[in-house]
Amino acid sequence: MNSSRLGREGEDRAVELLRESGLSIVERNFRWRSGEVDIIAMDGETLVFVEVKSWSTMGIENLAYGVDAEKQARIIETANYFLSLNRQYEHRAIRFDVIFVAKRAVTHLASAFMETV
């Protein structure tokens, strides 16, 4: 399976998990010059920016390589741009989650990283 198909199927599985957990999907694949946020969702009053990692060969123990400090900074910058365009969310709490999709399991890491000042 090619990587784009693997990623798309992983994101579909992540959306399914989020919906089953009671979150509503606001947007998928929000892109800006600095990067992309795979899924943006609402968890009650909290706006959640979700990075999805779909790997067929590496395990969750390698997640730090896939969502390193540089990747986190790009996600945060893209999230800030989304917020600048969507003022209705400006007073919401925000959270950055990672969902790891493997062949047999989907693992949701809520508050996987934080924006640092």
**Would you give the DSSP letter of residue 60?**
G
What would the pLDDT profile of 35-55 be if each residue is shown by its tens digit?
999 999 999 999 999 999 987
Does residue 117 register a pLDDT over 50?
no
Report H helices in the chain. 3-20, 63-66, 69-85
What would the pLDDT profile of 54-63 be if each residue is shown by its tens digit?
876 655 666 5
* Fold of domain 3-113: Trna Endonuclease; Chain: A, domain 1 (3.40.1350)
Question: Residue 52's beta-bridge partner residues?
Answer: 99
Of 52-61, 76-85, 89-98, the one with minimum mean pLDDT is 52-61
Which element (helix H / strand E) includes 116? none
Does residue 75 register a pLDDT over 80?
yes
**pTM of the shown model:** 0.89
